[in-house]
Amino acid sequence: MQPRKNQNHEYYMNKCIELAKVAKLNGDSPVGSVLVLNGEIVGEGIEGGKTFKDITFHSEIEAVRNARKLLQTPDLSDCIMYTTHEPCIMCSYVLRHHQINTIIIGLASGDIGGFSSQYPLLKDETIKKWKKPPTLVFGILEEECKQLSL
């Protein structure tokens, strides 16, 4: 019997939550992300800006770096990104650059979010070199993701 699509989302979001807990224990923001290709995790990342004293160590960017290394390609258009928090503006640029078509999000980030802020790169259609905006699915295990920040 095939699991329902939402059950798959919950499975991968639970993995993100586990990663986010590691980031929190390290003293970083509690954010975790995975990239999935054909049902297999090909990249994962935890927030590490404070740990590495480098703002680019966001979980989504780390997941992309891991996937690029494993897959040996910058084209990640067949991958699905799962992340506990809406990607920030910086991460949104990276996700669009690598052509990620679907992003599954636990909860919105507000004024720094790549969709919900004044700079919605995740839905921008004016940048010619980018393909169409990705499909965004919000609210997967939202309550569990909120609990990470408590």
Residue-level pLDDT at 84: 98
Report how far residue 132's alpha carbon sits from residue 141's, in angstroms, rounded to the nearest whole number. Answer: 26
- Which pLDDT does position 1 carry in this prediction? 31
Please identify every residue annotated as catalytic.
60
Beta bridge partners of 105: 83, 138
Q: Express each pLDDT in 101-138 by its tens digit.
A: 999 999 998 889 999 999 999 999 999 999 999 999 99
Burial 21-41 (b: 16+ CB within 10 A, else e): eebbeeebbbbbbbbbeeeeb
Cβ pair 87, 60 in contact under 8 A: yes
Q: What is the pLDDT of residues 54-65, one digit of tens each?
A: 999 999 999 999
Evaluate if residue 17 carries a pLDDT over 60. yes
Write down the pLDDT at residue 49. 96
- According to the model, what pLDDT value does residue 110 have? 85
Q: pTM to 2 decimals? A: 0.93
CA distances from 143 to 4, 62, 126 (A): 20, 24, 34
Q: Using pLDDT thresholds of 50, 70 and 90, give the confidence band for residue 3.
A: very low
The confidence score (pLDDT) of residue 4 equals: 44
User: What does the pLDDT look like over 92-102, one tens digit per residue?
Assistant: 999 999 999 99
What is the DSSP secondary-structure string of 81-122?
EEEEE--BHHHHHHHHHTT--EEEEEE--GGGBTTTSSS-GG
pLDDT at 147 over 80: yes
